[in-house]
Amino acid sequence: MRKSIISKIFRLIFSAFFIRILGFVFRIYLSKVSGAEGCGLYQLVLSVYAFGAGISAFGIRETLSKLVAQKEKYSKRILKTALVITGSISLLMFVITYINSEYIAYSILKDSRVLKSIRVISFSFPAIAVFSSISGYFNGLLRVKYCANGQIIEQITRILFVFLFAKEGLKYGLENGIKVMSLGIVIGEYVSMLYIYVSYRFFASKRQDTYIKKTFFTDIMKLSLPIASGGYIASLIHTMENVLMPTKLIEYGLTRGEGVSILGIIKGMAGPVVFLPTVIIGAVSVLTLPEISKVEAYGNFKRIKHLTFKTLFSGFVTGILSFFLLNMFSDCISGVLYDSLEPSYYIKTMSVVLPFLFFNILSSSILNGMGLQFLTMTVNIFSGVVKLMFVILVVPYFGIKGYLLGYILSEGTGFLVFLALIYTKIYSKKGVKNKFYLKC
């Protein structure tokens, strides 16, 4: 890779690592002031947040990253069209979520304590749409510092707000405490949106686009729909997983409180530790997509093969090293961060997936860069369905061990499929010689 790309990767790694550290501080604070059950309730709210955010963003970040990289001289026009699309979708999502908040809380999440938080969190969707669109614009131009700074600002704002006001809210029960934390998310999203918008105005004022009447609506929709559809289904699967987990653990023999607590330990305590190394993979993934798009546009398949091998091999090795380190120090990490060894078991077990997960993330980015969004969407959905089926069918009989087994198998299956796709679309003789074949 070019030196400039490598320097941008390290910048993204640093910012992502800093964001994760802030996230750790927040998770530790959350676990101490609200307990495992509070973490579980917060995860239920985050399920709605993630689903709404996914719909509002409409896969626009990846889409603009590719389009702007290939058609840089029309980048402003592309961004304006994207803002109209995502703005409309996010406003619709806000209205739907707010109006149906009671149904979501009582009938879907089956916990009345999250009702107020759902209403609060719905206000964040328009801000997410704007931030995602402008982030995609900057990523396509390889100006990653603006996106990284925006994410850091969002995290700092959220954490400061929670530190200042969460304890006061928790005095009136978990319901109000979680509502305060949800309000922190909303404020953080709007502050980061304001930052990246102002950054765009200053940056864009120095650039001259080539005028064109074309809106690029069709181009955006063609690329966004597969990514967005995959994201919607993945978000739905993730939400169903979080909703069904406590219910299926009740069928196994636990109480509602115990089920929510286990959800909180896995997603709110062990998960952030296990996925800390993804800061490296995420940084590489963000810059791999536009780089592959540019190279593929010139038909330089030899360089695509070189970049693919280098990226995937490094990611897989990073996953193996992360697995060994987390297994060696899981007890220490769990004790220091949470004053409990209970998350240690989940850290050890979940870290098994890291080599597969890293390979899958990077494979998705490479294939998306080549215009194969539908294939990556299909594989990711399939992996999610495998995991969900284990929650529904296996957890009632084997408890949380059934979920962990399903999680490992889902990522392992995805790894095998992505491995086959990478070989077929990039390394087979037919794949590298026939550009049309790459698009099929």
Q: Tens digits of per-residue pLDDT, 149-182?
A: 999 999 999 999 999 999 889 888 889 999 999 9
Contact (Cβ atoms closer than 8 angstroms) between residue 403 and residue 410: no
Instruction: Compute the C-alpha angle 145/9/407, nearest 5°.
Output: 110
Q: What is the mean pLDDT of residues 381-392?
A: 93
Q: Which residues of 61-81 are buried (b: 16+ CB within 10 A; e: fewer)?
A: bbbbbbbbbbbeebbbbbbeb
268/245 Cα distance (integer angstroms): 14
pLDDT in tens, 256-271: 888 889 999 998 889 9
- Mean pLDDT in the chain? 87
Residue 358's nearest CA partner among 328, 405, 304, 314 is: 314
Instruction: Compute the C-alpha angle 408/414/420, nearest 5°.
Output: 140
Share of the chain above pLDDT 70, in %: 94
CA distances, 296 to each of 126, 373, 421 (Å): 33, 15, 17
Residue 213 or residue 417, greater confidence: 417
Report the amino acid identity of residue 289: L
Q: What is the mean pLDDT of residues 31-50?
A: 89
Contact (Cβ atoms closer than 8 angstroms) between residue 303 and residue 295: yes
Contact (Cβ atoms closer than 8 angstroms) between residue 57 and residue 86: yes
What letter would DSSP give residue 75? H
Range of the domain at 285: 3-439
Q: What is the mean pLDDT of residues 85-89?
A: 95
The alpha carbons of the chain give a radius of gyration, in whole angstroms, of 21
Q: Count CA within 13 A, CB hemisphere, residue 302.
A: 0
Crossing angle, helix 144-170 and helix 278-297, to 10 degrees? 150
Residue 113 or residue 144, greater confidence: 113
Q: Which two tokens stand for residue 415?
A: 């790894």
pTM: 0.77
What letter would DSSP give residue 353? G
| Intra-chain end-to-end CA distance of the chain, in Å | 27
**Structural domain count, the chain:** 1
Report the amino acid identity of residue 63: T
